[in-house]
Amino acid sequence: MLQINNLHCELEDDSEVKILKGLSLTINAGEVHAIMGPNGSGKSTLSYVLSGRDGYTVTDGSATLEGADLLEMEPEERAAAGLFLAFQYPVEIPGVGNMTFLRTAVNAQRKARGEEELSAGDFLKLVRAKAKELQIDADMLKRPVNVGFSGGEKKRNEILQMAMLEPKMCILDETDSGLDVDAMKLVSDGVNALRDAGRSFLVITHYQRLLNHIKPDVVHIMSEGRIIKTGGPELALEVEENGYADLLAEAAA
Amino acid sequence: MMPRAKLKAQKVEAAGALLAGRELPAGGAWITKARTAAAARVASMGLPSKRDEYWRYTDPRRLTAPAPEAAKLHVTDDEAPLFDGFDRLKLVFVDGVFDAQASDALALPGVEICTLADAARTDLHWARDLFGALEARGQAPVERSLASLNTAHATEGLLIRITATPPKPIALVYRRANLAGDAMVHHVIRVEGGAEATILENGPMAARFNQVTEVDIADGATLHHIRAQGRDHERAGITHLFAKLGAGAQLKSFTLSANGALVRNEAVIWLDGAEGSAHIAGATVGDGAFHHDDTVFVTHGAPRCESRQVFKKVLRHGAVGVFQGKILVDQIAQLTDGYQISQSLLLDEDAQFLAKPELEIYADDVKCSHGSTSGEIDHNQLFYLRARGVPEDRAKMLLVLAFLSEALEEIADPAYADDLRDRLESWFKRRS
């Protein structure tokens, strides 16, 4: 599904600041991978580079989604190809209704893929059903995108977008940050409901806690722009117990 | 800097030159009195000059020149005329001249309408207490002599008296036929106590236009005013809206301005009675050779009134937007709630926004705020939309329309706002 090879990147404005330094990662269809790592290891940057945010220059390496070169595509093309980033800090857009935003996004992707746009009626039915599962009420759908939403509401809204867009490759960037226990359960249930043999996930998190809810197949530890260790779910437990220090020392040795 | 006396002398001289040999239009006693007084005001104030503080950001020379510059006629057959879908009383002006043939009959339940030309022939008319009177009141503390010029010389316009809530809106439709039309139109609108009416204005008035609208909204009455100033690029014009509101009266005025080489819309509002409410809003989109000026002066002259000024401008390719907005709160106007926001979205580095927000408050228990911002499209918002699959052009348009929506939301009836929003969307689509 997602294949990242020896990826290097630096800040566009300051080529002295190298962030990814030879990151490689392969996620097969249907797998859930988690990336953990200390602050500043480049986890969020990886999500931005994959989704096409400005501000970074890729200097080496490659990233492909089902064989297609992601790095050559505009952000909207990546989305239409099936990539989805659940933002760590979902953006507020005053003046754009949540429903309008969702319908515009769904239909733009369908159009880009040469599919027929959803009728207003079909769209409404679909969004209502999915919103209900995430306990998103009619008012949240009517309000401007993320404006005045609580932290939990914003994250639920991200998962609603994911459910509506049905991407193949979902990247969750610290989706657990700012969530209380109940909200984390709700969000995790939303993610788990989307788990599917044809859909893969990359879960970026600081804490093992989220991984109790969204059970990963593979756990990677990231430091200084590279994956330094890969293992099973037990690796996350090890981090939870001992912190990163031992792993970092081991990698440095 | 030029001494005041010298500037004044130049302005007066310019007025004299412009009016030399121009006779006041013939008319009945009431209007002749008003016109004569207005002509005297022009003679003593002189014409506005770029050196006037009030004209610092907008050069009035195209408006004061003896003859108008020609302006290409803009073909707009790519979309149905605005508000066409609404049941309305349609009154048409061509190059600022009332066209009875193209208009509906001047009859609507609850409304008395008469053309200025017809009223001018009578010796006595209900409008005598308003015609030129509100304009004269609007000459202090700032001189607006182009409005006096209009009172003195306008022969076209409508006098509309609303005695009871009419069943449909009154739509003033402006069309152009002449490359170098020079229109002077003067409307008077009185809304009697408790009545509620909607006035729609749409279209380009002329290659050059000078419009005055005097509005008197009696106690408990409401006027909705929704205006769109056409799509032609080379026109130049000035409009003045003078409105006084009685106790509990409401005014909601919205203007959409797209294109136009030079347009200045002035609104002068007096909240004379307690608990009045005035909302003045505007959405402006300019691309290229475009200069648009919103100049607003709201006076709170009674307690517990509310006023809002909401102006949004989207500018690019050298377009210039100006906002001068003032809230004046008299000593008597306790518990005033005044709000003013002017914002511009500059789509490139060539566009320019000049803002002068002002508060002058003499009462001690008031709530007044003003803000003015200038910025570009938010990159985080743009990326968020694109990351969800919305193509860049479409994402930008969504954000631009979202930016303008705060002004559109000042329109009470969403059906009109939706129609205007569609026009704005088309405007951007034509340019992307």
The structural domains of chain A, with segments of one domain joined by +, span: 2-96+167-252
CA–CA dist A219, A221 (Å, integer): 7
Taking only the tens place, the pLDDT of each residue in B353-374 is 999 999 999 999 999 999 999 9
- 3-state DSSP assignment of residue A215: coil
Q: What's the mean per-residue pLDDT of chain B?
A: 94
Phi-psi region of A37 (alpha: psi -120 to 50; beta: other; left: phi over 0): left
Angle between helix axes A98-112 and A151-165 (nearest 10 degrees) is 30
What is the CATH topology of the domain spanning A2-96+167-252?
Rossmann fold (3.40.50)
> Would you say residue B417 lies in a domain?
no
Total domains in chain B come to 1
> Residue A191 has what pLDDT?
86
- pLDDT of A7 above 70: yes
Nearest to B389 among A54, A100, A112 (CB): A112
Nearest to A93 among B379, B381, B389 (CB): B381
> Residue B430 has what pLDDT?
85
| Dihedral angle over CA of A163, A166, A167, A170, nearest 10 | 30
> Residue B219 has what pLDDT?
98
Contact between residue B308 and residue B281 where contact means Cβ atoms under 8 Å apart = yes
| Dihedral angle over CA of B378, B379, B381, B382, nearest 10 | 110
| pTM to 2 decimal places | 0.89
Average pLDDT (B131-160) is 97
> Residue B327 has what pLDDT?
97
Question: What domain range includes position B132?
Answer: 4-11+24-68+82-377
Taking only the tens place, the pLDDT of each residue in A120-165 is 899 999 999 888 877 788 888 889 999 999 888 898 899 999 999 9
pLDDT band per the 50, 70, 90 thresholds, residue A238 = confident
Taking only the tens place, the pLDDT of each residue in B236-276 is 999 999 999 999 999 999 999 998 899 999 999 999 999 99
Q: Do B403 and A95 touch (CB under 8 A)?
A: yes
- Tell me which residue has tokens 């929506």: B405
Distance of CA A221 to the CA centre of its chain: 17
- pLDDT of B431 above 90: no
- Select from A101, A157, A164 the residue whose CB has the most chain B CBs within 10 Å, as the one to mutate to test that interface: A101
> Would you say residue B48 lies in a domain?
yes
- Tell me which residue has tokens 């200025």: B116
Q: Which two tokens stand for residue A2?
A: 């997602």
DSSP per-residue codes, B147-202: HHHHHHH--B-EEEEESS--SS-EEEEEE---TT-EEEEEEEEEE-TT-EEEEEEE
- Select from A76, A103, A127, A145 the residue whose CB has the most chain B CBs within 10 Å, as the one to mutate to test that interface: A76
Contact between residue B166 and residue B227 where contact means Cβ atoms under 8 Å apart = no
Pairing between β-strand B337-346 and β-strand B367-375 as defined by DSSP bridges: parallel
**What is the ipTM score, two decimals?**
0.95
Closest residue in B to A74 (Cα) is B386
Q: Do B402 and A74 touch (CB under 8 A)?
A: no
Q: Do B390 and A91 touch (CB under 8 A)?
A: no
Q: Which two tokens stand for residue B90?
A: 């349609």
- 3-state DSSP assignment of residue A155: helix
β-strand partners of B367: B337
> Residue B1 has what pLDDT?
58
Q: Which residues of A touch B398 (CB under 8 A)?
A: 96, 100-101, 104
Looking at per-residue pLDDT, the higher value among A133 and B153 belongs to B153
Considering A96-100, A204-208, B18-22, B132-136, the range whose residues carry the highest mean pLDDT is B132-136
**Is A73 touching B (CB cutoff 8 A)?**
no
> Would you say residue B423 lies in a domain?
no
Closest approach of chain A CAs to the CA of B355, in angstroms? 23
- pLDDT of A8 above 80: yes
